[in-house]
Structure 1
Amino acid sequence: MTAIDLNSDLGEGFGTWPLGDDAAMLALVTSANIACGFHAGDPATLLDTTAGAVERGVRVGAQVGYRDLAGFGRRFIDMTPRDLTADVIYQIGALDGLARARGGRVRYVKPHGALYNTIVHHEGQADAVVDAVRAYDPALPVLGLPGSVFLDAADRAGLRTVAEAFADRGYTPTGTLVPRGEPGAQLTDPDAIAARVVAMVEDGVIPAVDGTRLPVRAETVCVHGDTPGAVAMARTVRAALDGAGIHLRPFT
């Protein structure tokens, strides 16, 4: 039976400012990329989110990013490899401690936002993230964009790499994500998104913004939890996968 993992970025509220409906998303996804306090998330929010994931059997992933609360981690920071490695170790450890306090643990690592996109091409920062994961726990898988220097570096370092596709983000003809703010960056039609995800899984293709059909072999698909209508979108995607006979299960 064909299977796929469905993940979402969660735990991104801060204090009295909620963002998204984590509880509803945890009922729909199989893996949760939980913020670690640098780009979003306060300790109480992260503890509650990890507890909800553990209760539902959803895998907990550390979503590590730049120390950029004001910019939601979407601004590039020119960091030294030493500083970036230390920051990533710090974030994994913080979330892992919260998860273990609720009977779970961090099961994988996914970079967030600008860091995710930077290490598609930036070898120095890609190596720094890889070094951090290896130092913390070399058994942790890492999620990234297919063809990125990050996944290449992780593979060379002996880490398990997990190729990721995005349900609700536009792709350039070269296979990278359309930068936020540009036309076609964000998709909003739940039915169209659901059909696109089914095609990703069944046919191994995804359309770029210019109509180019890009080959994709992903083990996990991301539906963002902070976008308007995220829950309805995730529900529609899950129903379409179920209808197509595609089983949802964690990749780890």
Structure 2
Amino acid sequence: MTAAPWLFDTIDGTWPAARYLSEGPWLLREGRGGGSRVSAASARDAVQEDDIAQAEAGMLALGQPRLFMIRPEDSALDAALAARGYQIKDPVTAYATPVDRLTQIPVPRVTVLPVWEPLVIMREIWAEGGIGPERLAVMMRAEGPKTGLLARYNDKPGGAAFVAVHQGVAMLHALEILPHQRKQGLGQWMMRGAAFWARAQGAQKLSVVCTRANDGANALYSSLGMDVVGAYHYRILQ
């Protein structure tokens, strides 16, 4: 499958690494503990098997695991890394939809509140889901329009998310619903709230990326009529 031409630029634009380094045919990302998306190396040009050592050295110099992002056009690199013992990590599916598809139903009052900078309760919700200071730092680095979303149900906090816009495409990250507030429809209201916010910023699309193993999230995005617009995975040397 091919990916939407804007997908990977939107990922970098809305969930940015601390630093980007160009080394030969590679783009290296310094993640500072912010997760795979901001730490993986990716190929900027055609690469040969001998080029892999250059990327490995660069990632080790940053104190990071040897981790590569594999996009649909990287099949040769994928095979070369597999032959070197790299294992597949976190296959991801990307979804997108025109914002108008999610703004036809109004969000109930005070159910989803755009808030920036994140409130203490939002930080606590994220922390409970394993989204700590390093990922909050990623949010702070994002340039352009961005906001946090606080969900409420029965007058109590229910979830948090982050959404940002890059070149007319909004992408939602770090969607976390508190365990005792799940199965109340908060996930769909969060996505609709993100779409209303994105439309107000002039964005035409709302997108999200999700690991294939996250059955609940994949079911949510499919139920909202979001289209699959790409896929990728990582290769890591344990």
Structure 1 and Structure 2 fold alike (TM over 0.5) = no
The TM-score, its normalising length taken from structure 1, stands at 0.31
**Max Rg structure:** 2
Structure (1/2) with the larger strand percentage: 2
Higher-RCO chain (CA-CA 8 Å, sequence separation at least 6): 2
